[in-house]
Structure 1
Amino acid sequence: MKKVAFYTLGCKLNYSETSSIGRMFEQKGYQKVEFNETPDIFIINTCSVTENADKKCRKIVREAQKINADGYVAIIGCYAQLKPREISEIPGVDAVLGAAEKFRLVELIDTFEKTPLGQPAQVIASTIDHAIEYHTSYSLNDRTRTFLKVQDGCDYPCSYCTIPLARGKSRSDSIANIVNAAREIAARGVKEIVLTGVNIGDFGIQNGERKETFLDLVKALDEVQGILRFRISSIEPNLLTDDVIEFVARSKRFAHHFHIPLQSGSNTILGLMKRRYKRELYAERVAKIKSLMPECCIGVDVIVGHPGETQQLFEESYQFLNELDVSYLHVFTYSERENTAALSIRPVVAKNVRADRSKMLHILSEKKKRFFYEQQVDKQGLVLFEDEIQNGQMLGFTDNYVRVAVKYDPLLINETKAVRYDHINDAGLMEVTESEEEVLIHS
């Protein structure tokens, strides 16, 4: 029995796909092992979002060679689609598969041969317009939470982004298939499903035509028995409709937690980024959520240092974020990507300035998160505990994404418990006292 190991870089979507490809290998009789357990085959699923994609890929290939110099190394993922020839020149790489080919890896691997020393790897990568099929995927890394892919690709050509070039056009699974997948996941004892994709608010396009909507999807999933809660990973503000917000507010299973990309609080920069909304719409979305779900957690993606971002425009963005009633920021420092429109925009922001602005927003994020947690103290919530230990305590998340720490108890793993938020500890986690309710086991 040949052994295969996987390493995943990047987003939740990549994790869901790696997990599904791993199950394909297991079904073909391969033994799935950890990366350091001398596998015969190493599969590296890459990301292209940051400028370090090449550096990270090379490092993991080197580690694979140290573990098993005779091991076969295959590279898949976004970076593999964008730079297949470049990756094929990395010493130790044997095969590179593009977006349209990665789900055929288990069929093709038996025909692959170890690349002779000094020779480029085999490349099987079609142009991105061939990536038209949809492959249902979900992760099963632990019993508590699963990432379920519901959508792939993107039709939004933002000026800084290569994802449409790496994943192709927007396309989705059917609601029927996704509901079936959710039931399979529930049958494995998983309590929380995170819906993931490239642009999940654009859900519903099948074979180039819109057949269903994201609202249809959340309504159907809300009826799935056995899942404690669904969490929406990220959704564009222009696609987060009043209907979706209102449904989540009254739903049985959808978490009161939204992650909504903003990217900039300056309308000038939003225009240069080719985003499809202005900051006024974003503020309206936040206000609508908070009016219906005051305790709701709202996360924000923001990019600093995009070309054209003058000091005045950065300060405008910072002030907008400072005044928004949001709970935390995911801060990304702009990095140049080939074949993107942003490369032609001036002025270019110096890298040291980008770093300074990033630091300012990280500090702002910590303040936002602290304030959000302070608002929760003395309230009650339902925590789903995970098999994760930190400083002798086990951790879990509430419906509204408050991270809670309690004394370790193996009986609590993958169980829910009603608690009262007591205080915020030195690590920034919420410590709790037990409520009078017993442990709640979700059926």
Structure 2
Amino acid sequence: MENRKKVAFYTLGCKLNFSETSTIARNFNDEGFDRVDFEDVADIYVINTCSVTENADKQFKQVVKKAMKLNDKAFVAAVGCYAQLKPEELASVDGVDLVLGATEKFKITDYINDLSKNDMGEVHSCEISEADFYVGSYSIGDRTRAFLKVQDGCDYKCTYCTIPLARGISRSDALENVLQNAKEISAQNIKEIVLTGVNIGDYGKGEFGNKKHEHTFLDLVQALDKVEGIERLRISSIEPNLLKNETIEFVSKSRTFVPHFHIPLQSGSNDILKLMKRRYLREVYTERVNKIREVMPHACIGVDVIVGFPGETDEHFLETYHFLNEMDISYLHVFTYSERDNTEAANMPGIVPANVRAKRSKMLRGLSVKKRRAFYESQLGANKTVLFESENKEGYIHGFTENYVKVKTPWNPELVNTLHEINLTTIDEDGSVRLEFVNKLAEA
């Protein structure tokens, strides 16, 4: 029997990248490759890159080094956002053999004819204007939940962001394709699906390369709610201006959508929001949070925020801090602004010193800990549903409630990928919540 080649994958960045890595992995499987863990010796290592933060760029070099340590004769391919933005830079990293841009990454097996090492990485990347078609993807097998891609690209022109340069125009999957993918995921006994994309609230735009709105995001969630076999659906990040009251109300009454929203704010100062060219002011954000609290008092609300944007004075930052402190939100994802080539913000005056950016980031991370603690305390004594994950972490199994409270109980492999009704009892030292079992809800 022919010796099958082994391929390993490493994903940097967002949930969308995870869903695309999973789809690329299935393509390799169809071509006769065996997938192995990245920590194992493989013939090919594929690294799905991210361009959002400076750190992701540095991480790429570390990951390549790790692959070369495992097998210095392995073929190394880079795909994803950073590969589209800076292909030559990636190609020059020692050990990299192939770099594929936005339109080429899903055809990676077509480019791998010969696994011998190259002196210099071979680049195949398109003009981003050519990325006008849609490739659906979803992740299974990596986690208890699946990431289902419904949209790609972005038409927004936020002054700090490279995503439109890396992923092209906003375009969506056809509704029937999304539903078919959801059914395929459900057939794999996966209990939770997380909807993902670059700007998922923009869903419906650009199906099959045109700009006509065939369906809205509300149509999408209403249709997915009817798919049999899915226990939970979770909306990942959605822009505040695109999260409509109708969607919030639908989620509050839905069969499967959980009361958890992640809504990027980026700044609590209208002056900074205007410099960022965001499509809303902070008053819109307040309205969204108030609406969610009105119909789902126990909902979890996560917030993205950027500190140290050019022109952000101490006053602007304190405006953000106080705005978030007073808002009934549950946790923060804090990003320290880093200059990205070919963005408007990179040339803006009022550069914030690195030590000031770090201090502001630390303050908001501290606020996030406080907010998460207060949210968890508000849930103590309540009966919730938990879906357990598959990892044994220091003798405990962890899971998340529908409203994203992290819980733990002593490790028991029989709990993996099962749903239970539980009572939230006490908050542990590590910030997760201990629980008491009430009722088993679904078989593994």
TM-score tier by shorter-chain length is: over 0.9
Write the deviation string for residues 260-282 of structure 1: whole angstroms up to 9, x where unpaired.
Answer: 00000000000000000000000
Corresponding position: 1:58 with 2:61: yes
Aligned pair in 2 of structure 1 residues 345, 304: CA closer, same or farther (>3 Å)? same
Contact 1:43 1:75 survives alignment (8 Å): yes
Aligned pair in 2 of structure 1 residues 433, 36: CA closer, same or farther (>3 Å)? closer
Contact 1:226 1:442 survives alignment (8 Å): no
Aligned pair in 2 of structure 1 residues 352, 242: CA closer, same or farther (>3 Å)? same
d(CA) in 2 for partners of 1:31 and 1:402?
Answer: 36
Return the match for 1:299 from 297, 302, 319: 302
d(CA) in 2 for partners of 1:388 and 1:87?
Answer: 33
Shift of 1:342: 0.6
Aligned pair in 2 of structure 1 residues 189, 357: CA closer, same or farther (>3 Å)? same
Q: Mapping of 1:159-170 within 5 angstroms?
A: 159-170=159-170
Q: Mapping of 1:44-443 within 5 angstroms?
A: 44-110=47-113, 113-116=116-119, 120-142=120-142, 144-205=144-205, 206=207, 207-209=209-211, 210-435=213-438, 438-441=439-442
Shift of 1:112: 6.3
SS, match of residue 292 in structure 2 = helix
d(CA) in 1 for partners of 2:7 and 2:373?
Answer: 42
Contact 2:77 2:99 survives alignment (8 Å): yes
Between the two proteins, what is the percent identity of the paired residues? 57
Q: Counterpart of 1:314 in structure 2: which amino acid?
A: F
- Structure 1, unaligned runs of 5 or more: none
Contact 1:383 1:396 survives alignment (8 Å): yes
Shift of 1:408: 2.1
Q: Greater CA deviation, 377-386 or 300-309?
A: 377-386
d(CA) in 1 for partners of 2:373 and 2:65?
Answer: 40
d(CA) in 1 for partners of 2:288 and 2:143?
Answer: 33
Contact 2:13 2:56 survives alignment (8 Å): no
Shift of 1:211: 1.2
Shift of 1:77: 0.6
Write the deviation string for residues 208-231 of structure 1: whole angstroms up to 9, x where unpaired.
Answer: 222111000000000011111100
Shift of 1:129: 0.7
Q: Counterpart of 2:106 in structure 1: which amino acid?
A: F
Q: Counterpart of 1:419 in structure 2: which amino acid?
A: I
TM-score by length of 1: 0.97
Shift of 1:390: 2.7
d(CA) in 2 for partners of 1:318 and 1:188?
Answer: 43
Aligned pair in 2 of structure 1 residues 329, 143: CA closer, same or farther (>3 Å)? closer
Contact 1:140 1:146 survives alignment (8 Å): yes
Return the match for 1:36 from 13, 35, 39: 39
Q: Counterpart of 1:192 in structure 2: which amino acid?
A: E
TM-score by length of 2: 0.97
Q: Counterpart of 1:68 in structure 2: which amino acid?
A: N
Write the deviation string for residues 15-44 of structure 1: whole angstroms up to 9, x where unpaired.
Answer: 100010000000110111112322111111
SS, match of residue 442 in structure 2 = coil
d(CA) in 1 for partners of 2:56 and 2:146?
Answer: 25
d(CA) in 2 for partners of 1:12 and 1:66?
Answer: 27
Contact 1:42 1:64 survives alignment (8 Å): yes
Write the deviation string for residues 301-326 of structure 1: whole angstroms up to 9, x where unpaired.
Answer: 00000001000111111110111100
d(CA) in 2 for partners of 1:4 and 1:390?
Answer: 27
d(CA) in 1 for partners of 2:102 and 2:218?
Answer: 28
Shift of 1:344: 2.4
Contact 1:143 1:188 survives alignment (8 Å): no
Aligned position for 1:17: 20
Q: Counterpart of 1:172 in structure 2: which amino acid?
A: S
Contact 1:143 1:191 survives alignment (8 Å): no
d(CA) in 2 for partners of 1:246 and 1:387?
Answer: 32
d(CA) in 2 for partners of 1:177 and 1:285?
Answer: 30
Q: Counterpart of 1:201 in structure 2: which amino acid?
A: G
Contact 2:243 2:288 survives alignment (8 Å): yes
Contact 2:240 2:280 survives alignment (8 Å): yes
Shift of 1:406: 1.4
Write the deviation string for residues 157-199 of structure 1: whole angstroms up to 9, x where unpaired.
Answer: 1010000000000001011101110110010000000000000
d(CA) in 2 for partners of 1:368 and 1:52?
Answer: 26
Shift of 1:86: 1.0
Q: Greater CA deviation, 296-305 or 99-108?
A: 99-108
SS, match of residue 440 in structure 1 = strand
Q: Counterpart of 2:442 in structure 1: which amino acid?
A: I
Please, what is the CA RMSD of the aligned residues? 1.2
Contact 1:143 1:414 survives alignment (8 Å): no
Shift of 1:114: 2.4
Write the deviation string for residues 91-142 of structure 1: whole angstroms up to 9, x where unpaired.
Answer: 11111100010001012211565213xxx21110011011112111111134
Shift of 1:143: 5.7
d(CA) in 1 for partners of 2:437 and 2:114?
Answer: 58
SS, match of residue 92 in structure 1 = coil
